[in-house]
Amino acid sequence: QPSSAVLLQIEKARKQFGGVIAVNDVSFDVQAREIVALIGPNGAGKSTTFNLITGVLTTTGGTISVLGHKVDNAPPQEVVKLGVARTFQHVKLVPDMTVLENVAIGAHLRGSAGAISSMVRLDRADEAKLLAEAARQIERVGLGDQIDQLAGSLSLGQQRIVEIARALCVDPLLLLLDEPAAGLRHMEKQRLAALLRQLRDGGMSVLLVEHDMGFVMDLADRVVVLDFGTKIAEGTPDAIKTNPDVIKAYLGA
Ligand code: ADP
Ligand code: MG
C-alpha cells in the first residue's frame, strides 16, 4: 500500500535512442487530485516521457512507479490495470461510428489484451455491460445528447472529449493527455478545462503535455518544464511564467 498520495513517481528516468538522449535523468511526481502539465519546446522529450510512463517504450535507466509498483519495463496493459489511461496527440476515433460505439470499442480494446480477436469472444452480457459503462462515461463528460451521433459529425472539441470518455472507461486514477487543447477554439478549451477540473475535484489526477500556454497556466496546479531531455524547472504556473531558464528555453528554441 502506498504510504503517501504519490500516484506517479518518476526517478531519473532515461531514454536513449542511439546517440540521442531523449529523456535525461528526469525526475518528478504526480500526486493524487493534481493537474500537472509537462511543457517544453519541440523535441524536449515530452512524448517520450509519456511513452515511458505508459509502457510503450522501455527505459534506458531510472525507475517509474505507479502507486508504488515499478512499471518502467511493464507492458502497457499492466500500466492500465494500475490505473493509468491516456489519450493520443491526434484524434483516433472512427468517424463513421457513433459516439457510443467509439467509446465502447475503445474501452473494450483497452480493457482486454488489446487484440481485435477478443471482440469476437464478447458475449451478449459483456457487450451490454460495456455499452452501459460507455454510456455512463459519455454522460459524465457531458456528451449525453450526442451519444448516437457519428463521431465524425462532432466538433474537434467534442471529439477530444469523446476520447477522454473512452479513457475513463478503465476507471483511471491518472489520466495522461497529449496536447488535448491543440486546434480547439476558445470556448472548446474552456469546456475541456472545466471537465478536467471536474475530474480532478472528483479525485483523479491529470498529467498533460500541452503547447497552449494560456490553457496550461490557467489549468495546471503544477508545471514541469523539459528542454533537450532535461528538466529545467518545476513549480506553480506563476513561478514558471517568470522563471528565467524557462523564458530562455522558449525564446532560444
Ligand atoms: P517532444 O514530444 O517534446 O517534442 P520527443 O519525446 O518526441 O519530444 O523527442 C525527444 C527527442 O528524441 C527528439 O530529439 C526526437 O528526435 C528523439 N526521438 C523521439 N523518438 C525517437 C525514436 N523512436 N527514435 C529516435 N529518436 C527519437
Ligand atoms: Mg511530442
SS3 category, 76:
helix
CA-proximal residue: ligand 1, atom 17 (nearest): 22
C-alpha 151 to ligand 1 mean position (Å):
31
- What local confidence, expressed as pLDDT, does residue 77 receive? 87
Q: What domains are defined for the chain? A: 1-72+172-253 (3.40.50.300), 84-171 (3.40.50.300)
- What local confidence, expressed as pLDDT, does residue 117 receive? 43
* 185 C-beta neighbours (distance < 10 Å), count: 11
If you search the block for the grid coordinates 472512427, which residue do you land on?
94
ipTM value, please give it: 0.98
If you search the block for the grid coordinates 471536474, which residue do you land on?
198
Q: Which helix (H) or strand (E) segment is 61 a member of?
A: strand 61-66
Q: For residues 193 and 198, what is the distance between their CA atoms, to the nearest angstrom? A: 9
Mean pLDDT calculated for residue range 169-175:
92
* 230 C-beta neighbours (distance < 10 Å), count: 16
- What local confidence, expressed as pLDDT, does residue 126 receive? 80
- Identify which of 26, 48, 50, 177 to mutate to test ligand 1's pocket (most ligand atoms within 8 A of the CB): 48
Ion ligand 2, residues whose Cβ is below 5 A away: 47
Q: For residues 21 and 16, what is the distance between their CA atoms, to the nearest angstrom? A: 4
C-alpha 175 to ligand 1 mean position (Å):
22
Global pTM value: 0.91
Q: For residues 142 and 132, what is the distance between their CA atoms, to the nearest angstrom? A: 15
Q: Which atom of ligand 1 is least distant from the CA of 42?
A: 4
C-alpha 23 to ligand 1 mean position (Å):
9
Q: Is the CB of 239 under 6 A from ligand 1?
A: no
Specify the amino acid at residue 46: K
Return all residues near 54 (Cβ < 8 A) that are at least 6 apart. Answer: 76, 79, 84, 86, 176
105: confidence class by pLDDT, cuts 50, 70, 90: confident
Burial category of 96 from C-beta neighbours within 10 Å (exposed 0-12, middle 13-18, buried 19 and up) = exposed
Give the least confident one: 108-122, 196-210, 211-225: 108-122
Q: With the C-alpha atoms ordered 28, 33, 52, 48, is the resulting torsion angle positive or negative?
A: negative
Q: Taking a C-beta distance cutoff of 8 angstroms, is the pair 113, 77 a contact? A: yes
Q: Is the CB of 53 under 6 A from ligand 1?
A: no
Q: Which tens digit of pLDDT belongs to each residue from 119-162?
A: 556 677 788 888 999 999 999 999 999 999 999 999 999 999 99
